[in-house]
């Protein structure tokens, strides 16, 4: 990568603080631990899978300090021109105050801009900046590789089935 992208990474990492330390390596399903009823609970299994996936996600974007909600928001903003800040929060599942904080961070990092809506000064539409589009292109490349790693033990058909099953929750 060129010096320009490296400089942008440096700026993003100062603006978007690194997630709090995650401590020792996560033990997903250690054989010497009896989980009892926990092994039968769907929510518990999903949460343990999420932790393992998040560890790889954060390692993948460590130099940029991007979180899953930041990445998701950037993708949604790019793919939905005119997306309003309040709607973004509802789609991502973040409270109104959390959405404002997230968009503030993206704006300070030069990744997103708020656009006023004619006739309603209380509403903002969101758009990625040129820098935001460049960063998102790099993030998508990295996150696709991350997704390939964390789902490597699944066949293509199993991946399709798993996504369909998860969508039922």
For residue 67, what is the domain's CATH number? 1.10.10.10
For residue range 48-90, list pLDDT tens digits in order: 999 999 999 999 999 987 999 999 999 999 999 999 999 999 9
Q: Is residue 31 part of a domain?
A: no
Q: Is residue 53 part of a domain?
A: yes
Name the pTM for this structure: 0.80
Mean pLDDT of 6-23: 45
Coil vs helix vs strand at 112: strand
Q: Is residue 66 part of a domain?
A: yes
Cα–Cα dist 61/67, whole Å: 8
Q: Is residue 89 part of a domain?
A: yes
DSSP character at residue 17: P
Coil vs helix vs strand at 113: strand
User: What local confidence, expressed as pLDDT, does residue 157 receive?
Assistant: 98
User: What local confidence, expressed as pLDDT, does residue 109 receive?
Assistant: 94
3-state secondary structure 53-101: HHHHHHHHCCCCCCCHHHHHHHHHHHHCCCCEHHHHHHHHCCCHHHHHH
Q: Is residue 141 part of a domain?
A: yes
Q: Is residue 71 part of a domain?
A: yes
Q: Which residues span the domain enclosing 89?
A: 3-15+37-166
Mean pLDDT of 108-114: 96
Q: Is residue 131 part of a domain?
A: yes
DSSP string, 116-128: EETTEEEEEEEEE
Q: What are the b/e assignments for 136-157, b being 16+ CB within 10 Å?
A: bebbeebbeebeeebeeeeeee
- Asked if 67 and 98 count as a contact pair (C-beta separation under 8 A), the reply is no
Cα–Cα dist 112/127, whole Å: 6
| Cα angle 11-13-16, degrees, rounded to a multiple of 5 | 105
Q: Is residue 61 part of a domain?
A: yes
Query: Which tokens go with 19?
Result: 């997630």
Number of structural domains found in the chain: 1
């Amino acid at each position: 990568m060129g010096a320009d992208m490296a400089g942008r990474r440096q700026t993003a990492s100062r603006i978007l603080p690194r997630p709090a330390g995650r401590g020792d390596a996560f033990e997903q399903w250690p054989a010497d631990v009896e989980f009892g009823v926990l092994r039968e609970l769907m929510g518990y299994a999903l949460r343990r899978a999420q932790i393992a996936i998040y560890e790889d996600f954060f390692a993948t974007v460590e130099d940029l300090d991007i979180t899953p909600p930041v990445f998701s928001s950037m993708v949604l903003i790019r793919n939905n021109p005119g997306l309003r800040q309040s709607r973004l929060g509802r789609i991502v599942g973040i409270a109104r105050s959390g959405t404002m904080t997230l968009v503030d961070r993206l704006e300070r990092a030069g990744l997103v801009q708020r656009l006023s809506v004619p006739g309603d000064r209380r509403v903002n539409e969101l758009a990625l900046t040129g820098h935001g589009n460049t960063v998102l292109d790099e993030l998508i490349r990295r996150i696709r590789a991350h997704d390939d790693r964390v789902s490597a033990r699944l066949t293509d058909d199993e991946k399709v089935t798993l996504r369909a099953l998860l969508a039922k929750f």
